[in-house]
Copies of this chain bind each other. A is one copy, B any other.
Amino acid sequence: MLQNQGREMMIVTSGAVAFGKQRLRHEILLSQSVRQALHSGHSQLNDMSLPVLEARACAAAGQSGLMALYEAMFTQYSTCTAQVLVTNLDFHDDQKRQNLNSTLRELLHMNIVPIINTNDAVVPPPEPNSDLQGVNVISIKDNDSLAARLAVEMKADLLIALSDVEGLYNSPPGTDDAKLIDIFYPGDQQSITYGTKSRVGIGGMEAKVKAALWALHGGTSVVIANGTNPKVTGHVITDIVEGKKVGTFFSECKPAGPSVEEQTEMARRSGRALASLHPDQRSEIICHLADLLTERKEEILAANKMDMDLAVSAGHLPPAMLKRLSLSPAKLNSLAVGLRQIATAAQDSVGRVLRRTRVAHNLELEQITVPIGLLLVIFEARPDCLPQVSTLAIASGNALLLKGGKEAANTNHVLHQLTQEALSMHGVKEAVQMVSTREEVEDLCRLDKMIDLIVPRGSSQLVRDIQRAAKGIPVLGHSEGICHVYVDSEASIDKVIKIVRDSKCDYPAACNAMETLLIHRDILRTPMFDQIIDMLRTERVKIHAGPRFASYLTFSPSEAKSMRTEYGELECCMEVVDSMQEAVEHIHKYGSSHTDVIITENEDTAEKFLQQLDSACVFWNASSRFADGYRFGLGAEVGISTARIHARGPVGLEGLLTTKWVLRGDGHTVADFSEHGTMKYLHENLPAGQPLAGQRDSN
C-alpha cells in the first residue's frame, strides 16, 4: 500500500533471484524524506533447489515478473515506477555515478519511484560453497551495500533495511541474554556478538550493520527492522516514518540521558534497596520530601511559572487544565500535609505478616506483604501528582517510572529532583525515575517483562488508551464510571433531592458522578417526580430520556443515544423501571460496575439491592460521590479500580502491595510427610503480627 504523502522514495529490491526462490525481500530506500510505505509480499513456495550456478539466469528471468508486480501495485495508487539496474562497479566510475545520480534525481523530480536492483545478469558468478546459503545471502549483501551507497550518493534522510528478524540484537537472538537494541551508536559495535554465518538472520545481519554504518558515516540515518512479520508488514515502514520505535535505529549522536531501558534497570535495582529499608527509613524519606516541598517552594513555583507562561502563550489549554497545572504556596503546603499522612501509613505497609502457620514441628510459614516491583505511573499535566505518586511508591517500597504530561515538564523536573534528593538520604536515589515525555506509552508497554503494574492517573480517555496499549501488563484503574442512582418507590423526598443533586452536580466531571437516574414507575406524575425535575432544571442539568421514560411523556426531552453514556457534564440519562429488581438488571446490563446508589426508606429493599448488585461500590441513601479513597478513610488514593481482581473500588496503599510466602525449616522434605514418613502436617494457625525473624523454636 502506498500513501501519497509528498515524500520521495526509492526502492532497492532483491527481487530477481528471490522472486522464484525462498523468500522475497524488499530492501527499501527512502530518500530525501520518505514518501511511502510499500507492502512487501512473501512467497511461500518451496525451495526449487536450483543449482547455485543458475542464479544469474534465474535473476534475469525473475526481473521482468518482479517489475510487473511492482508496477501493478503502484499503478493502484496512480504512481509510476521506473526500473534501474546497476552494478557496484557503476559507483567506482565517477562519470557513471554522476549519470546515475542525475537519472535518479530526474525520476524523483517527476514523482516516479525508481526501483533499483543489481544487474545480476552481468555480475560475476557467486563463488560456489563460499556460503551455505548460496545465492540468497550474496544477493542480500549486494543489496545492503547497494542501498547504502545509493542512500549516501543521493543524500537520503533515511534508509530502511528490512530483515527477517526484529532488528539488531546484542547477541544472537534466542540466547539467554539477547536484547533488541533500540538505538545503535557506532561506538557500541564491540558490544555485539554476531551468530555464525550459517544462520541467515544473523549472518546477514553483520553485512547489514556494515552497510548501515557506511551509510551513517555518509550522513544517512538507518533503521533495520523486520519486514516479514505478517501482523505488521505493511505497517512497519509507515511506523518507522512516523517515528515509532521499530527495529534498530542507527544514529551518530548519543543522547545525553540514559535510555528508558537503562532507567528501568536502575529503578529496579534501586527499588530493591528501597524495599529492603526499614519502614522508618521509608517514612523519613517521605517526611524529608514533604519538608523540601515547603523549603524549596521558590524553586518549584519558578519552574511552575515557566510552564504556566508557556501554556498561556500556546493558548490551547482549557481553563480547567490551566488551573490544575498551576501550583501555589497553599497547594504545596496541603500537598506536604498529605505526604506526611502517607509517611505514617508507610510504617505498617511492607513486611506486614498476614498469615502465620505452623506447618509442622520447626517448619513455620508466613505470608507477608511485599512491594509489587516496578510501577509505571502515567499522569497528565497535573504536577501535584508527582510527589503524591512518588510518595505512594516509596511508602510501599516499589520502584517507579514516572511519565508526566509535557505541559508540566519544568515543574515535574524540579519535583523529581527533590524526590531524588529525599531518596538519596538512604542511598536509593534511582528508585524513582522520570521518563522523557518523548517516550510513547506503547513503547513503554514493550517493557512488559520489566514493568509489573501500570497506574494511569487522569481522564478516563487516558485510562482507556493505556488499557488498550498495555498488552500483558496489568493496569490499575477504571476506564468508565457509568454510575446510577435508583430512586425507589419508598424513597424519602428530602434524601432524593439531596443525593441526586450531590451525585450529579457536586463535580460532574468526576468518575463517581451520576450518569443515569433510574426512577420507580410509581413515582412518575407524583410531586416527588416534579421536584426532582425542578431541581435538575434549576441546576441546569440536561436530561436525556431513556426509551421507556420517553414513552411515558407527552413532551419528551431529547432521547438518550445510548444507556451506556458517561456524560461527564451537567447532563444525565433518566429511565423508568418497574421495581428494584429491574433497576439491578438495568445496572448490570448498562453499568460499568463502578458505583451505584439506592435511595429508599425500606431497609429490606435496600439490603437486597446492596447484596445483589455487582458493583465495586454499592451505596444506600448516600451520594455516589463518596466513592473516593480519602472519603473512605484509606488515606491517599492510588485510583479507583473497576477490575475484578487484585483491588476493587478506591485503592489505597494496599493496592501497591503483593505478598510472598516465607517458609523456615530445618531440613524438611516432603518425603518426610509421605505415608511412610516420620512427620505429620500440623497446619496450626499462629497469630499474625510483626515478622518472626529470629524468634524460632529453639528445639
Using a CB–CB cutoff of 8 Å, the interface residues on chain A facing chain B are 1, 3, 19, 24, 39, 41-45, 65, 68-69, 71-73, 75-78, 175-176, 230-231, 234-235, 272, 276, 357, 359, 363, 365, 367, 370, 372-373, 452-453, 471, 474, 492, 494-495, 498-499, 501-503, 506, 562-564, 590, 603, 606-607, 610-612, 614-623, 625-627, 631-633, 643-650, 658-671, 673, 681, 683, 693-694
CB pair B359–A660 under 8 Å, yes or no, is no
Work out how many copies of this chain go into the complex.
Answer: 2
Evaluate whether A668 and B617 lie within 8 angstroms (CB atoms) in the complex, with A76-B19, A631-B359, A645-B658 already known.
no
In the complex, the answer to whether A618 meets B660 with C-beta atoms within 8 Å is yes
Are A611 and B72 neighbours in the complex by a CB distance under 8 Å? no
Q: Which of B372, B564, B620, B658 is in CB contact (< 8 Å) with A665?
A: B620
Q: A372-B645, A633-B359 are in contact. Are A627 and B661 (CB under 8 A)?
A: yes
Q: Beyond A230-B234, A649-B661, A658-B644, is A492–B667 a contact (Cβ under 8 Å)?
A: yes
What is the bound-complex CA distance between A660 and B670, given in angstroms? 38
B452 pairs with A373, CB closer than 8 A: no
Chain B residue with minimal CB distance to A649?
B661
Our pick among B41, B611, B646 for the contact of A645 (Cβ within 8 Å) is: B646
Query: Does A617 lie within 8 Å of B663, measured CB to CB?
Result: yes
Residues in B neighbouring A618, C-beta threshold 8 A: 660-663
> Within the assembled complex, what's the spacing in Å between the Cα atoms of A41 and B74?
11
The contact sample of 8 A-B pairs, CB cut-off 8 A, is A41-B73, A65-B76, A276-B612, A357-B633, A359-B631, A617-B662, A632-B661, A646-B646
Which residues of B are found within 8 Å of A175, using beta-carbon distances? 562
A645 to B: closest C-beta gap in Å: 4
A501 and B603 CA atoms in complex are apart in Å by: 62
CB pair A43 B623 closer than 8 Å: no
- How far is A39 from B72 in the complex, measured between Cα atoms in Å? 14
Which of these, B43, B603, B606, contacts A76 with CB under 8 Å? B43
Distance of A661 Cα from B627 Cα, bound (Å): 9
A659 to B659, CA, bound (A): 17
The complex places the Cα of A452 from the Cα of B642 at a distance, in Å, of 12
Write out the residue numbers on chain B whose beta carbons fall within 8 Å of the beta carbon of A498.
667, 669
- Please tell me if the beta carbons of B665 and A622 are within 8 angstroms of each other in the complex: yes
Q: In the assembly, what is the distance between CA of A370 and CA of B610, in Å? A: 12
Q: Smallest Cβ distance from A451 to chain B, in angstroms?
A: 10
Among B372, B621, B664, which residue has its beta carbon within 8 angstroms of that of A666? B621
Q: A617-B663, A660-B616, A670-B625 are in contact. Are A683 and B633 (CB under 8 A)?
A: yes
What is the CA–CA distance of A606 and B76 in the complex, to the nearest angstrom?
A: 70
Q: How far is the CB of A479 from chain B (nearest CB, A)?
A: 12
Do the beta carbons of A669 and B72 come within 8 Å of each other?
Answer: no
Residue of B nearest to A235 (CB): B230
Give the residues in chain B near A272, CB-CB below 8 Å.
612, 614
Please state if A494 and B667 are interface contacts (CB–CB under 8 Å): yes
What chain B residues lie within 8 Å of A627 (beta carbons)? 661
The reply to whether A495 and B276 contact each other, CB–CB distance below 8 Å, is: no
- A72 to chain B minimum Cβ distance, whole angstroms, is 4
Residues in chain B near residue A176, CB distance under 8 A: 562-564, 590
Q: Which residue of B lies closest to A234 (CB)?
A: B230
Question: Smallest Cβ distance from A273 to chain B, in angstroms?
Answer: 9
User: Which chain B residues lie closer than 8 Å to A632 at the CB level?
Assistant: 357, 359, 365, 661
Q: Are B41 and A623 in contact (CB under 8 A)?
A: no
**Contact of B76 with A69 in the complex, beta carbons under 8 Å:** yes
Nearest 6 Cβ contacts at the A-B interface: A622-B665, A502-B669, A633-B683, A495-B667, A72-B72, A645-B646
Q: Are B670 and A506 in contact (CB under 8 A)?
A: yes
For the complex formed, measure the closest distance between the CB of A260 and the CB atoms of chain B, giving whole angstroms. Answer: 20
Check B623 against A1 for contact (C-beta < 8 Å): no
Contact A665–B619 (Cβ < 8 Å): yes
Specify the chain B residue showing the minimal Cβ separation from A351: B611
CB <8 Å contact, A44 and B670: no
B668 pairs with A631, CB closer than 8 A: no
Q: Measured between alpha carbons, how far is A668 from B621 in the docked complex, in Å?
A: 7
Partner of A611, one of B230, B276, B607, B631: B276
In the complex formed, the residue of B with least CB distance to A612 is B276
| Measured CA separation A622–B364 after assembly (Å) | 10
Known: A272-B614, A453-B644, A618-B663. 16 other contacts (CB 8 A): A41-B73, A43-B76, A68-B71, A68-B75, A176-B562, A276-B611, A359-B633, A365-B632, A372-B645, A452-B645, A474-B643, A499-B667, A615-B660, A619-B662, A625-B670, A631-B670
Closest to A174 in B: B562
Q: Is the beta-carbon distance between B502 and A671 smaller than 8 angstroms?
A: yes
Cα–Cα distance between A373 and B644 once the two chains are bound (Å)? 8
Give Cα A625–Cα B669 distance, bound, in whole angstroms.
Answer: 8
Asked if A670 contacts B626 (CB within 8 A), the reply is yes
Chain B: minimal CB distance from A227 (Å): 14
A635–B650 alpha-carbon span in the complex (Å): 31
Q: Which residue of B lies closest to A233 (CB)?
A: B234
Instruction: Find the residue from A3, A77, A668 having the highest chain B CB count within 10 A.
Output: A668
Rounded to whole Å, the gap between the CB of A188 and the closest CB of chain B is 22
